[in-house]
């Protein structure tokens, strides 16, 4: 992140929301044809028409008709650094990282609710980077400003299409308006969106859980890109941090945590994990984690290892949070 990148974003003077799209996108209740005069009205303006909202304990959120998810994290708003001051580089990076953790958590909640039996379509979560976002300023509950990076991404494509519609559809249509991708976006119900927002409200109250869920979202994206060692390592962060958090009162020496092996044995003895979970995590630790850390070049990490790690990571991360999480892991190979 360069000094120019920090100076690029000016959040001063307004209540700011960070906006992002899921992988592949979704519509809420009904797909909109950008060539339709009446339907297209819902896509123009500072933001597309909001159809669901949350005013939670720690976060506020809007979800727009075209799947744009806008997120405002209350405690981060009050600690927002001056992004125009190059001396604030590290503070600004940390602020962004924390905000994106909440955005990733919202993505996972949206995917999980959409996958539940009886729902017609699935949302696929995507780990969010700041280059995938737009920043929307609100005053008195109305969106009044919006900006985003110039990189070509879903936010940029959607903005070009909205401008084309607003200008009377004159000139060549943007790629987003003519591609088959627009027509095949999934349609999920407003009830699914509202359920996801409620689930996110619960998760957002625990900052440690938010960070762990964000690691899981990043692991999903790495897994989709066939980066199995990266995905496994991210999932192991979740496994180890969750396990040691459960055993937080167990210190072998002042200021030092016991080994992971000791932690697992204590969790098993205290009934905090069962024998199958103990065996699963212990196998992963011996057969993949230790080799991957000490001999990364020669260690083979396969999709099945990632799926085993994902099961353990999700169970440990959300087990005590009353937060059922159903995720879809996609990967593949072709030549």
Instruction: Give the chain's residues under pLDDT 50.
Output: 1-12
What pLDDT digit, counting tens, does each position of 120-151 carry?
788 989 899 888 888 899 988 888 888 877 66
Q: Parallel, antiparallel, or unpaired for β 59-64 and 50-55?
A: antiparallel
Q: Would you state the structure tokens that stand for residue 323, as one six-digit string?
A: 């937060």
Parse the chain into domains and list their residue ranges: 3-204, 225-318
Other CB atoms within 10 Å distance of the CB of residue 16 = 22
Distance CA 64, CA 191 (A): 13
Q: How many angstroms separate the CA atoms of 90 and 310, rounded?
A: 31
| pLDDT tens column, 25-53 | 898 999 888 777 887 888 888 898 999 99
- pLDDT score of 223: 96
Task: Choose among 172, 179, 120: nearest CA to 154.
Answer: 179
Beta strands in the chain (DSSP E): 15-20, 26-28, 50-55, 59-64, 69-73, 134-139, 142-148, 186-188
Distance linking the first and last C-alpha atoms of the chain? 34
Tell me what pLDDT residue 268 has. Answer: 92
Sign of CA dihedral 207, 278, 293, 250: positive
């Amino acid at each position: 992140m360069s000094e120019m990148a920090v100076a690029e974003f000016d959040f001063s003077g307004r209540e700011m929301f960070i906006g992002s799209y899921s992988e592949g996108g979704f519509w809420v209740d009904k797909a909109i044809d950008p060539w339709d005069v009446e339907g297209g009205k819902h896509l123009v303006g500072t933001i597309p028409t909001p159809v669901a909202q949350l005013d939670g304990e720690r976060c506020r959120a809007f979800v727009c008709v075209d799947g744009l998810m806008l997120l405002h994290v209350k405690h981060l708003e009050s600690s927002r650094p001056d992004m125009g001051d190059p001396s604030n580089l590290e503070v600004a990076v940390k602020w962004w990282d924390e905000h994106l953790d909440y955005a990733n958590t919202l993505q996972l909640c949206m995917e999980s609710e959409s996958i539940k039996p009886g729902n017609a379509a699935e949302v696929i979560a995507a780990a969010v980077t700041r280059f995938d976002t737009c920043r929307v300023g609100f005053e008195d509950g109305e969106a009044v400003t919006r900006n985003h990076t110039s990189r070509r991404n879903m936010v940029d494509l959607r903005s070009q299409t909205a401008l084309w519609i607003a200008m009377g559809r004159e000139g060549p249509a943007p790629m987003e308006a003519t591609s088959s991708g627009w027509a095949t976006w999934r349609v999920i119900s407003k009830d699914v969106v509202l359920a996801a927002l409620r689930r996110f409200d619960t998760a957002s109250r625990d900052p440690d859980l938010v960070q762990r869920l964000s690691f899981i979202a990043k692991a999903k994206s790495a897994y989709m890109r066939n980066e199995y060692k990266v995905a496994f390592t991210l999932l192991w962060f979740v496994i180890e941090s969750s396990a040691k958090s459960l055993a937080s009162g167990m210190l072998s020496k002042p200021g030092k945590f016991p080994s992971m092996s000791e932690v697992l044995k204590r969790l098993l003895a205290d009934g905090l994990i069962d024998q199958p979970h103990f065996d699963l995590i212990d196998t992963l630790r011996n057969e993949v984690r230790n080799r991957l850390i000490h001999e990364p070049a020669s260690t083979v990490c396969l999709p099945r290892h990632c799926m085993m790690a994902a099961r353990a990571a999700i169970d440990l991360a959300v087990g005590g949070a009353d937060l059922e999480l159903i995720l879809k892991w996609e990967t593949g190979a072709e030549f």
